[in-house]
Amino acid sequence: MEEGILEAFLKVMPVLKDILLEDIAVGVADTTTYLYYRPVDTLDLELKGGSKVPVESPMYELLKKGKGYNSIVPKEVYGVTFKSIGYPIKDSHGNVIGGIGIGKSLDQQFKIEESTDSLFASLEETSASIEEISAGSEKLLNIMGNGVEITKQAEKSVKESNEIHNIVTVT
């Protein structure tokens, strides 16, 4: 019966990507060995069916403790940042007989976040430039207003000078 449980998972894993419509790497292990592993273009942990589950891996901990995991694996570990999810497979008595590991690359998400951050920074720069242009336009408007006022005063002075000149010339 227990082998039937693992066999059922082994039949589902090859189509899990299509079922979930996600670009995910999947692996199935019994208590010591990977029975199945399928990488994807964006994430290949270079595991092989028949290889021992590495002692330092989250899958090893899952098999020993019987508890699932959900963690982000940093880029430094395998060269790509990914979300790692593991779930124990248990028999009818609750004993761990294997585990499922799923990995989803987060590189695309991080690229989108970086692009968003870059776009936000560009928008902030544009906003600052617009504010600078607005301040410059306001300053120019004030200068032009002062110029008009000075021109009006000059015109008034010229009229007064003409009037004085006319008075002096008539006398």
What is the number of structural domains in the chain? Answer: 1
- Look at residue 16 and tell me if it is in a domain: yes
Residues shown for the chain: 171
Note down the domain range covering 29: 2-105
Instruction: Tell me the CA distances in angstroms from 55 to 20, 52, 65, 129, 167, one per residue in order.
Output: 29, 9, 13, 56, 112
- Look at residue 170 and tell me if it is in a domain: no
For the ranges 62-71, 92-101, 130-139, the lowest mean pLDDT is seen at: 130-139
Share of the chain above pLDDT 70, in %: 86
- Look at residue 129 and tell me if it is in a domain: no
Which CATH number fits the domain that encloses residue 50?
3.30.450.20
- Look at residue 44 and tell me if it is in a domain: yes
Q: Is the pLDDT of residue 33 over 70?
A: yes
- pTM greater than 0.85 (yes/no): no
Over residues 45-68, the mean pLDDT reads 88
Q: Is the pLDDT of residue 50 over 70?
A: yes
What pLDDT, on a 0 to 100 scale, did the predictor assign at position 142? Answer: 79
- Mean residue pLDDT across the chain: 81
pLDDT, tens only, 113-155? 566 656 666 667 777 677 777 777 788 777 877 777 888 887 8
By the 8 A CB rule, do 67 and 80 touch?
no
Q: Using DSSP, state whether 149 is helix, strand or coil.
A: helix
What pLDDT, on a 0 to 100 scale, did the predictor assign at position 118? Answer: 63
Q: How far apart are CA 40 and CA 80, in angstroms?
A: 12
